[in-house]
Amino acid sequence: MKNEKQIILVITVVFTTVFVSSIFLLFAGQEAAILGGLLVPCMVLSYYFPRWSLLAFLIYLPLGGTVTYAFAGVFQTISKGINFTNSYPLFHLAKNAFYLPALLAILISFKGFRKNKLKFKSLLIVITFFSLACLLTFFLINFPQDFANPRDRIILMGMVGLKVWLGYIPLILCAYYCLNSPQNLLLFNRVLVTLILIACTLCFIQYLLLIYGVCPGNSDLPRPSNISASLRAQCFVGGSLLYNPAKNLIRLPGTFVAPWQWAWFLIASSFITYGVSLSEPSRLWKWISFGSIISVLIATLISGQRTALLLVPIIYLLLFLLTEKRNKNLGLKIGIIFILTLIITTQIGLVDERIANFIQRWQYSPPQEFIAQQIQWLTHNRITLLGHGLGTTASAARRLGSIQLVETFPVQIIYEIGVLGFITFFSLVTTLTIFTFKAYRSLKTPKLRNLALCLWVFILFISYNPYYYPLAVDPVAVYYWFVAGMLLKLPVLEQQITLTDKIEV
């Protein structure tokens, strides 16, 4: 009977794959047909092997921009700009083939979180309230606007907004499910560190191709493509790129779609790499973790990302101070770091150039003034109880109608979901910050405690970030909720490690 079910399943998957590929071939082209042929079996396997599927999801995340723009070729350069193929949206949604079936399987089968429902009751309550606030905005704001503005697809924009704000919260549950043993914790940590090392190496190759003229960059492009990131300058990996040495402009996207996504990937990676380097029991993997730290610093330096250039060194220094227990040599180590930093910044021209560019840009447009301008803009009759509609500030919804460009995170929340959404959202992240802090404080094992501290600082930093909107887009939107679930599971994993046993390498 079991064999008969397996045969029926295989036949169903084969016929469904052929059917989906044929539909994609007719309406979206050859690339979409190939993608369709991969998506159906991938979704089936993701449902039956959710832990491996989520691992594949984390692997695909930093490589998705490269797959979409460098390998799939979903855009064509034309005289006046960029023309996207019909397969473009399908490749942007491809990562969900790993995530959604795995989530469905976990929701159906996983009993561990249900057993601890009382323990996480407060967290579940605030998640429910935030979800209700989003749904109220969707039904009471997006729906009426859709009928009032037939040219804009406001309901579809609202669905994009729901995906942005609620789509990755279940990763808390997914991480809690996936990390069912200390060995799995090691596996996921090592995969993340390896991915960071690979992504930064690819970015370095991209930089070399640009400076040696293999990739033309933006210099010969017409305005405004020669002074802003553009797909027309795409090079080797990733998407939109800016490289115009004559104007001292460089914004590399690394392996991601856009430069600012790459910047926040580097920022998130600084927490992950440092935490893993402190928790690794294997000498080999500890050195690999140190290598990934160096790669993040190099990628930060060459990428031209001002936000990352400011935050990444500060994050590493802060984590060093927080995790350093040998206070006897702390002053000496800080002195050595200061001297090395001084030598590097004064003797290496590239570093000096990047810092000078950062200072110049800061003076031209101070972030605190920008935040104040955004808040002032919001207070001019734009604050409402339920907001102006889900998805109305999401760049992913720009092809569905006119959106409002809002680049300050709290302002974006209030504009989209209103005061009610703002209150419930910050109640959610505050509750999550408290729960994860308690999880960290409960740990006694030094390696796990150091890892938890680094990850908790990441949760704290992203939860109350006043600038830009990393929690509304990949990759931080994924890492934040997954790391939160990891932190909540660490006390359970610690109980599986006795005082005399070590994690097997």
Query: In sequence order, what DSSP letters do the residues of 27-41 get, joined into one string?
Result: HT-HHHHHHHHHHHH
CA 98 to CA 56: how far, in whole Å? 7
> CA 328 → CA 261, 325, 331, 450, distances in Å?
40, 9, 7, 19
Which strand (E) or helix (H) includes residue 251? strand 249-251
Distance between CA atoms of 72 and 87, rounded to whole angstroms? 9
pLDDT by position in tens, the chain (length 505): 456 555 665 666 665 666 666 666 666 666 666 766 777 788 888 888 899 999 999 999 998 888 888 776 667 677 666 777 666 677 777 888 899 999 999 988 877 666 776 678 899 999 999 999 999 999 998 888 766 666 667 788 888 889 989 999 999 999 999 898 899 999 999 999 999 999 999 999 999 999 998 988 888 777 777 778 888 888 899 888 999 888 888 899 999 988 989 999 999 999 999 999 999 989 999 999 999 999 999 999 888 888 888 899 889 988 988 887 755 555 655 665 555 555 555 545 566 666 666 676 666 667 777 788 888 888 887 788 888 888 888 877 777 777 788 888 888 999 999 999 999 999 999 999 999 999 999 999 889 999 999 999 999 999 998 877 788 888 899 999 999 999 999 999 998 875 435 544 3
Residue 372 has which token pair?
């104040």
CA dist., res. 205 & res. 505, Å (int): 32
Return the pLDDT at 233.
Answer: 85
- Round to whole Å and give the CA distance between 485 and 130: 18
* Token couple for 455: 């990850």
Nearest to 82 by CA among 463, 399, 452, 477: 399
Question: Which amino acid does the sequence have at 24?
Answer: F
Contact by Cβ (8 Å): 449, 440: yes
pLDDT computed for residue 333 by the predictor: 54
Give just the sign of the alpha carbon dihedral 424, 425, 428, 429.
Answer: negative
Alpha helices in 324-348 (DSSP H): 330-347
CA distance 383 to 284: 54
Question: How would you write 174-203 as a 3-class SS string?
Answer: HHHHHCCCHHHHHHHHHHHHHHHHHHHHHH
Question: How many other C-beta atoms lie within 10 A of the C-beta of residue 455?
Answer: 25
User: What's at 338, amino acid-wise?
Assistant: F
Q: Return the domain boundaries, the chain.
A: 110-495
Dihedral sign for Cα 181, 184, 186, 188, please: negative
Structure confidence at residue 340 (pLDDT): 53
Q: What is the pTM assigned to this prediction?
A: 0.90
| Token code pair at residue 494 | 């610690």
CA-based torsion, 232, 237, 240, 241: positive or negative = negative
Angle at 265 between CA 481 and CA 63, to 5 degrees: 95
Alpha helices in 396-475 (DSSP H): 409-442, 446-463
| Cβ-proximal residues to 147 (8 Å cutoff; 6+ apart), any chain | none
- Phi then psi for residue 499, to 5 deg, are -65, -25
Helix (H/G/I), strand (E/B), else coil: 168: coil
Q: What is the Cα–Cα distance from 451 to 490, expressed in whole angstroms?
A: 10
